[in-house]
Amino acid sequence: MNGNDIITKLKAAGWKLDRINGSHHIMVKDGNAVPVPVHGSRDIGTGLVAAIQRQSGVKLK
């Protein structure tokens, strides 16, 4: 699962892109911010996917 896949799922759950800082896309919803690294088609590690899932409350896998 790469960063673009995660962003697509977050957008479907109502999260919006706030800003891009380097390769990190900052997604926001209800005052919460979650950074998502986007490095082309490179997969994100399972621990980081789990952390994003925990912070956002969105089921990613």
Domains annotated for the chain, with CATH where assigned, are 3-56 (3.30.920.30)
Contact predicate 38/4, CB 8 Å: yes
Query: Model confidence over 28-54: pLDDT tens digits?
Result: 999 999 999 999 999 999 999 999 999
Contact predicate 15/58, CB 8 Å: yes
pTM listed for this prediction: 0.93
Contact predicate 60/7, CB 8 Å: no
Average pLDDT, the chain: 96
Separation of alpha carbons 61 and 59, rounded Å: 6
> Quick check: 12 pLDDT over 90?
yes
> Quick check: 61 pLDDT over 90?
no
